[in-house]
Structure 1
Amino acid sequence: MSTPQATPGKEPTRYMVPALEKGLNMLLLFGQHRGELSFTQVCQRTGMPKASAYRTVQTLEQMRFLSRNNASGAYSLGISILRLGFDYLSSMDIVQIGQPIIQRLRDTTSYSAHLCVLDGRDVVYVARASAVGELAAGVGVGTRLPAHCTAIGRVLLMTLPPQELSALYPESAFSLTSEQGPKTPQDLIALLDGDNARGHAISESFYQPGVSAVAYPLRDRDGNVLASISVMVPRSVLPLDLKTSLSTQVETAAREIEGFLQAC
């Protein structure tokens, strides 16, 4: 794994701590892999000598940044990483602002409400207010889903310039999609054009069969999309009156959050 380079205005690389750099690079490796890695794979992918890699792995495991699978002997990210992530998410202004509003949206609609941000090609759920029932534990904070397959992801993508979308989705066809989801970037662009024209996105059994969603973007004072808000409904199809009602309620919540964001 390559060593991070110093950037203008920052301290020269001679002040970097090599052991800390190795540990952080190893955590980045596990984050990018999103799964278990054996010790041999860690050595191969980091390029670290076995002795150095072993000490780093042992240190991270003792501090619970890595967790060892006793059955396979492989490693994955541990609970300390999750705590760091949750601490970061809870410190975000949009979470602090949005949490009471999505809780109220949950109470008025009786459906689970969520806040998401875009990270590359994924949406990351940064706040939720769970409804009682089958969807209560459906999507937790920190969950990542493919943006192109979800309504809450599409509203994060719909205002991106064509060149940014092309860079984000350079392939000719998606290897991961849902039954009703877009099969190619061209399909996605057609969906995004419709979403942009409406100003929001609605999906009915689009990503998960039997689950529908209504999503709106959250914009800053310059009109840039910062995040998205949605309600998740345990229905394959939304009746027109429910679709209209939910759209109004989600939009109202989105405008309330935007009011705070744009005042900051």
Structure 2
Amino acid sequence: MSSPQATPLKEQTRYMVPALEKGLNMLQLFGQNGELSFTQVCQRTGLPKASVYRTVQTLEQMRFLTRNSISGSYSLGISVLRLGFDYLSSMDIVQIGRPVIQRLRDTTSYSAQLCVLDGREIVYVARASAVGEAAAAVGVGTRLPAHCTAIGRVLLMTLPQQDLSLLFPEPSFSFTTEQGPKTPQELIELLGSDYQRGHAISESFYQPGVSAVAYPLRDRDGNVVASISVMVPRSVLPADLKTSLSTQVQKAAREIEKFLHIT
């Protein structure tokens, strides 16, 4: 029996999908250049205008590209971020973060978790339940509205207002909580406060009788890629506990970030 040989390049390329290749090459072009006008895309790809138009329109409809309403230029959209978050949630973040949140759980005696952003929702990608905790209402894979949760707010707080407007185009939220923001504008104001503080704290904000302290996780370029938090079964956090938990969650966040900065 002859040993298997590498598939010749010609054999490999015959199975490539030209339209898909064109779209992916265009995304790489935007990744390298940032914002580009339609004319610039045509010039840099060398493709016919009709072909570029169809590709750009498809990518915009799927939110891989977003159009600047003032300049008319295009840039990478929120769906590109979602792909990145999905990759991180299945790879580095979970692998690096799981032992850290377990230690955070052991240190604080409260449940700790890691989340990533997927559109308007947060997704729990790792969780360490507190010892003796009853059946958890949330687990890995659970989705919650980002605008109503502290761990979601730290994922939203660094997004440009243009991206927030794309995520929350409605004049008011159809779902909120008693203490949660009622409109996107209220959310933006709340995110401004979170940004200034550098983290988010909620007391019975999403679920009555449950408080949370959350910090963002940043990659080496300073982009927020995930968030970490502890959940406390108390309606209100005493000042000393609030300070203590903030310090410990921040320490855990910095520990994870050290690994992210070298990957």
Asked if TM exceeds 0.5, the reply is yes
Q: Provide the TM-score with structure 2 as the length reference.
A: 0.67
Where does 1:2-17 land on structure 2 (aligned, <5 Å)?
6-8=19-21
Q: Which runs of 5+ in 2 are unaligned?
A: 1-16, 25-86
Report what 1:170 is aligned to: 169
Where does 1:47-196 land on structure 2 (aligned, <5 Å)?
91-134=90-133, 137-196=136-195
Mapped contact 2:89–2:116 kept (Cα < 8 A): no
Where does 1:204-223 land on structure 2 (aligned, <5 Å)?
204-223=203-222
User: Could you tell me how far apart the structure 2 residues matched to 1:114 and 1:208 are?
Assistant: 16
Mapped contact 2:153–2:194 kept (Cα < 8 A): yes
Q: 1:193-243 CA deviation, whole Å, 9 max, x = no partner?
A: 000000000000000000000000000011000000000000000000000
Report what 2:61 is aligned to: none
| Amino acid aligned to 1:7 | L
SS at match of 1:187: helix
Aligned-residue identity in percent: 81
Change (3 A) 1:89 1:130: farther
| Amino acid aligned to 2:120 | R
Offset at residue 170 of structure 1 (A): 0.4
Q: Provide the TM-score with structure 1 as the length reference.
A: 0.67
Change (3 A) 1:89 1:127: farther
Aligned residue pairs, count: 185
| Amino acid aligned to 1:233 | V
RMSD: 2.0
| Amino acid aligned to 2:20 | T
Offset at residue 139 of structure 1 (A): 1.2
Moved over 6 A (4+): none
Offset at residue 9 of structure 1 (A): 5.0
Q: 1:152-198 CA deviation, whole Å, 9 max, x = no partner?
A: 00000000001000111000000011110000001100110000000
Mapped contact 1:149–1:181 kept (Cα < 8 A): yes
Mapped contact 1:112–1:136 kept (Cα < 8 A): no
Mapped contact 1:117–1:227 kept (Cα < 8 A): yes
| Amino acid aligned to 1:243 | K
Report what 2:14 is aligned to: none
| Amino acid aligned to 2:117 | L
SS at match of 2:21: coil
Q: Which runs of 5+ in 1 are unaligned?
A: 12-87
Offset at residue 8 of structure 1 (A): 2.4
Offset at residue 89 of structure 1 (A): 8.1
